[in-house]
Chains A and B, each alone.
Chain A
């Protein structure tokens, strides 16, 4: 894909990123940060792509390290977020909802 198309995607994603969390309540700042952190664990996919194509030992080794790091980020990130959110049981959802704004 050419540079301009990628740039278009980049710019549009910025706006989506801003819009999508614009109305988050303070109590969710920590889980939200943690969830976003897990999402950039998708760098694992990039690590797999480069390692699949590695032709030298150096590239292969660095690529494999990147995969390990990326997998830690992705798997650990989503799991730790889930553990946090487990605490917010929907026990009192209705009264909790009222002052979310």
Chain B
């Protein structure tokens, strides 16, 4: 029997988790909220050693916690802010994997003799945890650009995925009817394959939504493992994450103006990577840093549109310097932040906050969009998909329907870009060829530094 004080400690941990989520939803209390969550987790981890079970492997267990904790902490400390989304994906994946393994161990120990309900929970844990693990690994590879960020559609992919899904269901039902260890292992393998197939066709800006969805999956799988183990804390914590994660996924999809189903299955129906070559040879206008400095220096209103390219080049501070110079010349300067600028909703805010850009200069999309028509110059630094008018006009474009920043309404548009290559979603941007657009090619940091120098010389 678990001592009452341990159960009370678990109750306290569950309350702390709720307070953590609550705190995380407001900027003021977010950091404290995260701290409360960490305290709850630490508390739960300590008291579990007092649950009164035979404790033969305590040293091994403590060593394993130490190893895992060190890996997690080391990675968290070293990861660059630009790479955070894939880091979160990875943490999420290992969590799902852990849940699946927990269910496996419990199955081995009970020899599959548990009740049917416990078996169902075991099956759910293994399937959802497995999908979350392998799916998260694929999202990590995509965001880390170890594999292409574009949708990958295998020949006959729809049918292979359907076949794997069916086999998962058949194996699951079989396992519940007639428990056997080889069935459980096969089920886990098929779930892992399904996770890969599930995420491969998702491309570009949709990847973060999938991370969020897989995050909710892991939560549910942890909740199911709690059912297997008869552990209330796991049920509460897992369900909290499952529910809030589902809602968060919906909010993210909404911010991008796409139904979740379109995000997940869009690639199967859209013609993949449409017309990438058809417009490549058209002329574009490019300017020197001096041209751009003059354009900016004599404007009355400038809107800066930062994108992922800015963050990759670590040019946030240089952009801030440019903004300060312009403001010193009495020019109205604002930053236009697309909801999914960077790699994830809110990612750009984090990156700019890191460079000490004042919070109140960051304007969200709804707020800034009407402003473009009165802006003299829109300076787009390392962004592409989020300003691509194809999202408004071209029904065949994979990003059709995503709300964009109406940069094309500004009197002049300047793109700082490495090359004419399409963005993460792999679609041509007509705006690059527009007569009012000026390109400055090169690394965002180099280009900005040159523009800043030219502006100082004006």
Contact = CB atoms under 8 A, between A and B. Distances in A.
A and B found bound together: yes
Interface string A69-84: 1111111111111111
Interface string A13-48: 111111011111111111111111111111111111
Contact of B353 (A16, A62, A89): A89
A62 to B, nearest CB: 5
Contacts of A38: 34, 37-38, 41, 91
A33 B231 contact: no
Contacts of A15: 243
B445 interface: no
B438 interface: no
B95 interface: yes
A96 B26 CA distance: 11
Nearest to B243: A17
B98 A85 contact: no
Contacts, number: 395
Contacts of A47: 98, 101-102
Contacts of B40: 39, 42
B131 to A, nearest CB: 15
B33 interface: yes
Interface in B206-243: 211-212, 215, 218-219, 222-223, 225-227, 229-243
A15 B244 CA distance: 9
A33 to B, nearest CB: 5
A49 B72 CA distance: 21
B101 A69 contact: yes
- The prevalent SS among residues of B at the interface is helix
B92 A73 contact: yes
Query: Most B CB atoms within 10 A — which of A3, A34, A51, A73?
Result: A73
Interface string B54-80: 111110110011111101110111010
Contacts of B65: 44, 48, 67, 71
Contacts of B13: 42
Most buried by A among B20, B64, B79, B358: B64
Given A45-B233, A75-B72, A39 B45 contact: no
Contacts of B35: 82
Given A18-B244, A52-B53, A72-B71, A43 B28 contact: no
A42 B235 contact: no
Interface in A45-71: 45-56, 58-60, 62-71
Contacts of A34: 84, 88
Contacts of A97: 27-28
B109 interface: yes
Contacts of A43: 95, 98-99, 102, 222, 225, 234, 238
11 contacts: A9-B239, A14-B242, A16-B18, A21-B21, A21-B24, A38-B91, A39-B240, A46-B222, A63-B105, A69-B101, A90-B28
> 7 shortest A-B CB distances, which residue pairs?
A71-B68, A17-B243, A76-B72, A29-B345, A13-B239, A79-B76, A73-B95
